[in-house]
Chains A and B, each alone.
Chain A
């Protein structure tokens, strides 16, 4: 009753109206503008910063800088955003290179030949990293991100399929493409924009929430232009079984003669699997499989570059129909272009090259192993509470070495903290025998391969005992402590299961991790100590967090028009931001 009333009261207050009202009272004429410091100008208090129309007159550079910088303070802290794979840390030298090359246009090859040559070297290095085969002439390009790369990879597959069909005198009316429902939104966009039927296969607990090879068998036909296989599902970090799917397609070709290519979307995994001891978990995933025709990866994820660079490589030029390539003549020279963007920044490519030669294989290996080790530590700590269970598998021993349960020393330490702060419902697990921890010289080889991602949910016992606690409340309360840990529903078919997901990036050190475990434990305890009525307040807040403002001036925000109210997190299709 009380909460309802306060709710309606809050609804009647329009903060914009109040601000406008009081600004209307201001009678100063705005003359005698003082530009001594940014905060002595009219923008500091009397006049709002222009939001909807270019102001008639400008403002000094220092003022514009200070106003925008202060406003950007309201953005989140990149380092505490555990929802995203996108890199947020740059070494100082890399930062310097970025600034120095800010004005360089990647499309202007004639003007910036040195930058172009670095881009080529990156392509070459990555092709070798992904085991390009001798005798094949790999070809690749830098993109703005994996989305562009996926569009290009899909388009090449579609055009090749069309050429084959036309050559065989068959129709090209209904192409289709196969992917798991855990696919990132870019894969669906490709299907929609380039008019292919998307055969989105449901995932299940049995298939480890990834593309199910059994279902692939049933969904392919002569109109299948290709299969998107994801190396590193964004939901749980599992690698999809590329080799198994390749074998299924081999069998299909033997039976029917239809040759279906694979594009590997290694947006996150392309820079993880090659470096870690666990690899992709044993089976092959890259160009070692003849059926894998193209691979894409994001330089701005585990490639350790800030946003704006991705890569795509085809194993051989014959898989890239020449009809799609445009030659650009420029000052008598020639440039070949297969991109969706044209002019764009090139600094990210330079930093990618810097990372590749500065870190070397050993450096990348160390960083990726560290990420995985921290992810294991978090997973084990969460499971040790007894409240949470992980859907990701990277902390579980690989089947071969299952006998040996290794627990890091630090994990033991964190567990002690956990044990001392939370005492109530755990107990089933026997922690004692795990305590004689070994020093952490172990590698990821002993564990199931995957991305350094921890996806976790309440255990069944916890849900039984505290049915009123919603998982999204954990996410909300952690946000108050500045952590961003999203709560998603799993892809369709499994959407009843919600997961909290933490992506461990290079900048997530063990020190921060310690704080995170503490905060998760504290937040959960707080929830356990409150009853249903208290918590219902939080539920309401959740919906009101981003109010849809009314009034003429907001009409240009397209998201406001196109969405029908803010949905609950459990509704609709969930596409994680990556």
Chain B
């Protein structure tokens, strides 16, 4: 049936119109604000954008949009950023799905039940990918997990769970709970240090050496004592991308009869290893591994804002950490540090998982591994020392440093100089100082992401070659001057004025103490 609608009579239509017109005539204004040509003809284009105080009056939306867009063009080209693992390419369909979900609040399960269901599916898929124990019908204990904003949140949650579990066990045994500690590699990402600091846990570090950039299983297990809440192992360190020998740590623990839990920080490796080296045992196949985190926005191939953490079973997630939120009659268990957040990224993750399938992920990761191998070989031929592993034994990244000169003389330039020189060409290739106890070993790192094709790889090699040739020709003094200039004017952080002087040169972190660089991830 079609709705009937009354047609307004002529005079009533006219009536309103005339009234309205009269009003408009009476209120005609001649504001100087009106822009008639284009956005750039308005007075806003001739003035600076408000920086410190809210403007008193409105700005037309086209002008505000254009001004902000223009300003954002000063950001760098994400495609040339080889420093970050974070995804910069997604298919158009995925972008569309995400844009349509901007206004969905992920935490609002009752309003957006389907988005919540999609998260559960992702958790299930990822847990199975990591060989989480799947209980038989009727049993209640199975793996559980949740989505996060990123691996940092995931790690904080995992550390909290380990700490609480340890505390509960200690209290049950009538022992003191004053001095919890956690065993981890000195090459950890900064959020591990944060987690330890913020939750007041002592850090027990396993140092790297000049030859070994990952933890030594023996040394790691020897650090364990009754106050150890857990061991952190990394599947793919951010420096060299090497996988730590998690199986060896696990086997040693089993041999010694220790029930210390292991958390695997698979932020980058969690979506690489299962596809490239499926036989590598690093996940829930190892009995001491109780929780794993992975970043969806790294090799999970989603734009920033999604990470995942999975526990082997509910008994590893103490109840008192989980808050039940009663909303419209349905209790929702929540274990997060953030509350309201967008649902787009979780939906994007589900899109990628079903769109690509194992086959698709394997194809992409295989290509990345091939590109990384090609880049390693080329750089080796150019005379660099390759520090990362090849052929899928680590993440698809290339870590390299300058080889000592044949004559044994010191070079006029170091890795940082080369990084600065590449910056001028538009490439962001970061230089780092390695983890402590590696004699301030410096290195450069190229992360091979989905959009880093063989063609672009060739472009990078050409530029490295020419930059090196240029630096070889220059004397020490002019290199120094040029470095200072580039650092000051070409890098954003060199120009930054926002950092508060109070917090400069902090001395409490590994970076402050040892000069290790917190690598970007």
Q: Contact check: which of B142, B320, B354 meets A64 at CB < 8 Å?
A: B354
Chain A min CB distance to B498 (Å): 5
Most buried by B among A71, A75, A115, A363: A75
- Sort chain A's interface into a size bin: 35 or more
The interface residues of chain A lying within 8 Å CB-to-CB of B150 are 341-344
Once A72-B347, A147-B339, A561-B140 are accepted as A-B contacts, the answer to whether A128 and B59 lie under 8 Å apart by CB is no
A104 interfacial by beta-carbon distance below 8 Å: yes
User: Is residue A537 contacting chain B, with contact meaning CB distance below 8 A?
Assistant: no
Determine if B25 is an interface residue (Cβ-Cβ < 8 Å).
no
Partner of B128, one of A53, A98, A121, A327: A53
Contact with B along A127-145 (1 / 0, CB 8 A): 0110000000101000011
Question: In the assembled complex, how far is the CB of residue A439 from the closest CB belonging to chain B, in whole angstroms?
Answer: 14
Query: 4 additional contacts, CB 8 Å, given A344-B305, A358-B59, A563-B331?
Result: A75-B112, A76-B113, A148-B337, A148-B338
8 Å CB interface, A114-166 against B: 114-118, 120-121, 124-125, 128-129, 137, 139, 144-148, 151, 155
B374 CB-CB contact with A under 8 Å: no
Which residues does chain B contribute within 8 Å of A102, judged by CB atoms? 90, 95, 98-99, 303, 344
Chain A 493-505 near chain B by CB (<8 Å), digits 1 or 0: 0000000000000
- B57, B200, B337: which has the most chain A beta carbons within 10 Å? B337
B134-152 contacts to A (CB < 8 Å): 134-146, 149-152
Majority secondary structure, B binding face: mixed
> B110–A577 contact, CB under 8 A?
yes
Residues of A within 8 Å of B492, CB to CB, are 109-113, 116, 333
Bound: A566/B199 CA distance, A? 33
Q: List 19 A-B contacts (CB under 8 A).
A: A52-B121, A57-B360, A74-B114, A83-B108, A86-B340, A87-B103, A108-B520, A110-B520, A116-B492, A125-B51, A128-B54, A308-B340, A329-B511, A332-B431, A343-B150, A360-B59, A363-B57, A562-B314, A563-B324
Given known A57-B357, A104-B304, A475-B328, contact A111–B110 (CB-CB < 8 A): no
> Which one of B77-85, B214-222, B397-405 contacts A?
B77-85
In the bound complex, residues from chain B placing their C-beta under 8 Å from that of A350 are 68, 72
Q: Which residues of A contact B336 (CB under 8 A)?
A: 147
Q: Is B504 an interface residue (CB 8 A)?
A: yes
Interface centre among B72, B96, B345, B509 (most CB of A within 10 A): B72
Tell me which of A185-193, A204-212, A258-266, A520-528 binds B: A185-193
Contact with B along A62-94 (1 / 0, CB 8 A): 101101110111111010010110111111111
With a CB–CB cut-off of 8 A, which chain A residues contact B153?
340-341
Contact for A336 among B53, B55, B69, B500, CB less than 8 A = B500
Question: Which residues of A are found within 8 Å of B428, using beta-carbon distances?
Answer: 110-111, 331
Asked if B198 and A324 sit within 8 Å, CB to CB, the answer is yes
Which of these, A334, A357, A578, contacts B50 with CB under 8 Å?
A357
From the candidates B108, B151, B314, B511, name the one contacting A84 in the complex (CB within 8 A): B108
Taking CB atoms and an 8 Å cut-off, the chain A residues in 310-365 that contact chain B are 317-318, 322-337, 339-346, 348, 350, 353-354, 356-364
Q: Do B305 and A113 have beta carbons less than 8 Å apart?
A: no
User: Min CB distance, A132 to chain B, in Å?
Assistant: 10
Chain B stretch 342-392: residues in CB contact (< 8 A) with chain A = 342-345, 347, 350-351, 353-361
Interface presence of B17 (CB below 8 A): no
Given A95-B99, A110-B428, A341-B150, verify A577-B327 contact (CB < 8 Å): yes
Contact A331-B431, Cβ < 8 Å, known A88-B103, A95-B102: yes
Chain A residue numbers with a CB within 8 Å of B198 are 155, 194, 324, 340
**Interface segment, one of A281-289, A457-465, A552-560:** A552-560
Q: Which residues does chain B contribute within 8 Å of A62, judged by CB atoms?
A: 93
**Chain A neighbourhood of B50, CB < 8 A:** 121, 125, 356-357
Q: Are B354 and A192 in contact (CB under 8 A)?
A: no
What is the minimal beta-carbon distance from B120 to any residue of chain A, in angstroms?
5
CA–CA, A362 to B124, complex, Å?
48
A568 located at the interface, meaning its Cβ lies under 8 Å from any Cβ of chain B in the complex = yes
- Tell me whether A307 and B340 are in contact (CB under 8 A): yes
* B503 close to A75 (CB less than 8 A): no
Q: Is B341 an interface residue (CB 8 A)?
A: yes
A54 at the interface (CB under 8 A from B): yes
Minimal Cβ-Cβ distance residue in B for A148: B338
Across the interface, which residues of A come within 8 angstroms of B124, CB to CB? 51-53, 556
Q: Lowest 7 A-B CB distances belong to which pairs?
A: A333-B493, A113-B492, A65-B93, A358-B64, A93-B65, A58-B357, A558-B144
Q: How far is the CA of A456 from the CA of B331 in the complex (A)?
A: 23
Closest to B146 in A: A558
Contact B110 A484 (CB under 8 A): yes
Query: Which residues from A are CB-within-8-Å of B258?
Result: none
B489 at interface by CB-CB < 8 Å: no
Chain A residue contacts of B67, Cβ below 8 A:
357
CA distance A109 to B83 in the complex (A): 12
Residue of B nearest to A100 (CB): B69
Q: What's the nearest-Cβ distance from chain B to residue A144, in Å?
A: 4
The yes or no answer to A399 lying at the interface (CB within 8 A) is no
> B165 CB to closest chain A CB, in angstroms?
14
Which of chain A's residues have a CB closer than 8 A to the CB of B129? 53-54
Q: How far is the CA of A306 from the CA of B344 in the complex (A)?
A: 11
**Given the complex, which residues of A lie within 8 Å of B121, measured CB to CB?**
50-52
Q: Are B325 and A110 within 8 A (Cβ)?
A: no
B75 at the A interface (CB under 8 A): yes
Q: Are B341 and A98 in contact (CB under 8 A)?
A: no
Q: How far is the CA of A578 from the CA of B108 in the complex (A)?
A: 8
List the A residue with the shortest CB-CB distance to B44: A357
CB < 8 Å: which of B54, B75, B110, B518 contacts A104? B75
When C-beta atoms are compared, the residue in chain B nearest to A52 turns out to be B124
Q: A93-B61, A336-B500, A353-B68 are in contact. Are A145 and B341 (CB under 8 A)?
A: yes
Q: Mark A35-68, 1 if CB is under 8 A from B, else 0.
A: 0000000000000011111111111111011011
Quote the shortest CB–CB distance from B248 to chain A (angstroms): 28
- Residue among A137, A317, A354 facing the most chain B CB atoms (10 A cut-off): A354
Contact with A along B159-181 (1 / 0, CB 8 A): 01000000000000000000000
* A546 contacts B by Cβ under 8 Å: yes
A332 to B517, CA, bound (A): 9
